[in-house]
C-alpha cells in the first residue's frame, strides 16, 4: 500500500510533533516554511519558500494527499490557492475565521457561544464610543496577526486610551474587549474527522505569563460537568458550523463557572501537548486521523497531567532528565527570549502526587 503523504504549512514545533506522531502510523509529512532552519525539517521533508510563491507552492503540493497547517498566520490566499490543487483541511474558511478576532467573535456570538463584550474599532472616534459603551478596564487588540499577547494594550484609565491608540492604530483594524476578571483560563482540544466523528479531551487549565502559556493541567482541577459541557458544546457547534476536519482548540475565561470564549485555533495547540504522554491518543495523532478520515483515537487521560513550557532558556538536558517523573521534549531550537524551546510533562495517577512533583519540577525549570 502506498503511504499517505501529508503536507503541512508551517514547520515549527507543532509540525515536528505532528511528524513524530505520523511516523508511528507510517505517514510521511512534508513541510513548507519560510525558514530554512524550521525544526520540523529535522524529522520530515522541508521545502523552503515564501507563502506567496505560487510556483513553489505547486511543487510542494505535487503528490500530496492532503494539506494542513500548524501555523495560523498562513495567508488565506495561500490556503485557497492550494485548495484548488489538493484537499486542504481544516478548510480555509476556518483559518479565515480564526485569523480575525472580530469575525471569530461574531461567529461565536452567532452560534450562541458567550464571549467577553466586544466592539469593532475602525477609527479613533469608534474607540471613544467603544470605551463609553464597554467601560474600562478594557483590552485593545489588533484584529489580525496578534498571538501570545502581542498586538494588545490594556486600558485601565482614560489616560491610556490615546497611548494605546498611538501604539496599535498602525496595525489597524482593531477590536476592543472588556477586560475580564476571570478566575482562570481553560481550553478544550476537540477533533472532528472528515467522516463527522467527534471526540473531546477533558478541559485543560492554563496559566499564562506575559501572554505566553507557561503551564497546562489536565484534567483541569475543580472542573465540573456543567463547565465541561459548555466547552464541549462550544467546540461541537463551531466544528459543525465550519464542517471542520482536524483538531480544533477553543480557549476560554472561566468566570465563576461561566465560560467566555476568547479565541479558537484551527490546529493542534500548546495546551494539548500533555496528550503525548498523558492521553491514550495524542492530539497530534488525532489531527492526522481526523484529516485522513480514519477512526479517531481514544482521548481519555491516562492520569493527572501537567505540562510546563520551556521558554527562552532552559536548564541543560542532564538536569531536566533528573526531574522525577518528567518526560522531556526539546524542539531543537536556538534559545531566544520568549521562544518556546520545549516542554516537560509529568503524569501521575494521583492528583496530590502530581501537585508535589509539579512543585519540584517548576522550581527546577522555571526562572524565578
Ligand atoms: P490572546 O492573544 O487573546 O489569547 O490574549 C493573551 C492573554 O491575554 C490571554 O491568555 C489572557 O491572559 C489575556 N487576555 C486577553 N484578552 C483578555 C480579556 N478580554 N480579558 C482579560 N484578559 C485577557
Domain shared by 199 and 260, yes or no: yes
Q: How far is the CA of 11 from the centre of ligand 1 (A)?
A: 26
Q: 90 CB under 6 A from ligand 1?
A: no
Q: What is the DSSP letter of 301?
A: B
DSSP single-letter state for residue 171 = G
- Does one domain contain both 211 and 358? yes
Closest residue to atom 1 of ligand 1, CA basis: 149
pLDDT given at position 312: 95
- Report the separation in Å between the CA atom of 53 and the middle of ligand 1, taken as the mean of its atom positions: 34
Looking at residue 54, its pLDDT comes to 95
C-alpha dist (Å) from residue 110 to 62, 121, 177, 311:
38, 20, 17, 37
Question: Is residue 306 included in any domain, yes or no?
Answer: yes
Choose which residue among 149, 213, 260, 309 to substitute to test ligand 1 binding: the one with the highest number of ligand atoms within 8 A of its C-beta: 149
Residues 174 and 309 occupy one common structural domain: no
Q: Candidates 134, 138, 139: which one to mutate for ligand 1, based on the most atoms within 8 Å of Cβ?
A: 139
Please choose, from the candidates 362, 353, 214, 218, the residue with its C-alpha nearest in 3D space to the C-alpha of residue 280: 218
Buried b (16+ CB within 10 A) or exposed e, 285-321: bbbbbbbbebebbebebebbbbbbbbbeebeeeeebe
Does residue 39 sit within a domain?
yes
Kindly state if the Cβ of 212 falls inside 6 Å of ligand 1. no
- Let me know if residue 168 belongs to a domain: yes
CA of 330 to the centre of ligand 1 (A): 27
CATH code for the domain of 49: 3.40.50.20
The count of structural domains within the chain is: 3
pLDDT at 364: 87
Contacts with 222 (C-beta within 8 Å, 6 or more apart), sequence order = none
CATH number at residue 170: 3.30.1490.20
Write the residue with the smallest CA distance to atom 19 of ligand 1. 179
pLDDT value for 1: 52
pLDDT at 225 (0 to 100): 97
How far apart, in whole angstroms, are the C-alpha atoms of residue 168 and residue 142? 7
pLDDT attached to residue 4: 67
What integer pLDDT is reported at residue 211 of this predicted model? 85
Query: Which residue segment(s) compose the domain that 36 sits in?
Result: 5-88
Q: Are 45 and 68 found together in one domain?
A: yes
Last residue in a domain, options 178, 196, 219: 178
| 15 Cα–ligand 1 center, Å | 25
Q: Specify if 96 maps to a domain.
A: no
Q: Whole-prediction pTM value?
A: 0.96
Are 21 and 78 members of one domain?
yes
Please give the pLDDT value at position 354. Answer: 96
Is the residue at 269 inside a domain?
yes
Same domain, yes or no: 337 and 205: yes
The one-digit pLDDT tens for each residue of the chain (368 residues) are: 566 699 999 999 999 999 999 999 999 999 999 999 999 999 999 999 999 999 999 999 999 999 999 998 999 999 999 999 999 999 999 999 999 999 999 999 999 999 999 999 999 999 999 999 999 999 999 999 766 567 899 999 999 999 999 999 876 799 999 999 999 999 999 999 999 999 999 999 999 998 899 999 999 999 999 999 999 999 999 999 999 999 999 999 999 999 999 999 999 999 999 999 999 999 999 999 999 999 999 999 999 999 999 999 999 999 999 998 999 999 999 999 999 999 999 999 999 999 999 999 998 886 65
Among the candidates 130, 148, 178, a domain finishes at 178
Ligand 1 pocket, residue 262 CB under 6 Å = yes
Amino acid at each position: 500500500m502506498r503511504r499517505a503523504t501529508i503536507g503541512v504549512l508551517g514547520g515549527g514545533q507543532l509540525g515536528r510533533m505532528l511528524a513524530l506522531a505520523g511516523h508511528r502510523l507510517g505517514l510521511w509529512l512534508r513541510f513548507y516554511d519560510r525558514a530554512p532552519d524550521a525544526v520540523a525539517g529535522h524529522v520530515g521533508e522541508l521545502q523552503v519558500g515564501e507563502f506567496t510563491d505560487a510556483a513553489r507552492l505547486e511543487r510542494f503540493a505535487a503528490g500530496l494527499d492532503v494539506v494542513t497547517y500548524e501555523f495560523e498566520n498562513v495567508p488565506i490566499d495561500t490556503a485557497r490557492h492550494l485548495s484548488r490543487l489538493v484537499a486542504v483541511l481544516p478548510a480555509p474558511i476556518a483559518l479565515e475565521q480564526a485569523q480575525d478576532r472580530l469575525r471569530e467573535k461574531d461567529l461565536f456570538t452567532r452560534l450562541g457561544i458567550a464571549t467577553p463584550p466586544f466592539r469593532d474599532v475602525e477609527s479613533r472616534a469608534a474607540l471613544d464610543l467603544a470605551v463609553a459603551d464597554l467601560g474600562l478596564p478594557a483590552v485593545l487588540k489588533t484584529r489580525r496577526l496578534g498571538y501570545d499577547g502581542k498586538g494588545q494594550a490594556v486600558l485601565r484609565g482614560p489616560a491610556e486610551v490615546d497611548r494605546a491608540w498611538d501604539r496599535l492604530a498602525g496595525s489597524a483594524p482593531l477590536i476592543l474587549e472588556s477586560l475580564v476578571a476571570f478566575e482562570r483560563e481553560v481550553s478544550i482540544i476537540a477533533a472532528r474527522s472528515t467522516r463527522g466523528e467527534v471526540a473531546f479531551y477533558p478541559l485543560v487549565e492554563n496559566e499564562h505569563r506575559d501572554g505566553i502559556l507557561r503551564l497546562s493541567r489536565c484534567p483541569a482541577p475543580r472542573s465540573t460537568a456543567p463547565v465541561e459541557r459548555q466547552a464541549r458544546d462550544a467546540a461541537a457547534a463551531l466544528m459543525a458550523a465550519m464542517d471542520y476536519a482536524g483538531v480544533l482548540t477553543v480557549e476560554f475565561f472561566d468566570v465563576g463557572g461561566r465560560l467566555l470564549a476568547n479565541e479558537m485555533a484551527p490546529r493542534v495547540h500548546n495546551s494539548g501537548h500533555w496528550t503525548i504522554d498523558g492521553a491514550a491518543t495524542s492530539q497530534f495523532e488525532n489531527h492526522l486521523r481526523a484529516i485522513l478520515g480514519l477512526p479517531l483515537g481514544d482521548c481519555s487521560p491516562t492520569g493527572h497531567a501537567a505540562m510546563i513550557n520551556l521558554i527562552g532558556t532552559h536548564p541543560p538536558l542532564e538536569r531536566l532528565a533528573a526531574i522525577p517523573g518528567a518526560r522531556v521534549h526539546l524542539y531543537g531550537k536556538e534559545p531566544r527570549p520568549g521562544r518556546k524551546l520545549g516542554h516537560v510533562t509529568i503524569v501521575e495517577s494521583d492528583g496530590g502526587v502530581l501537585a508535589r512533583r509539579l512543585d519540584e519540577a517548576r522550581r527546577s525549570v522555571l526562572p524565578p
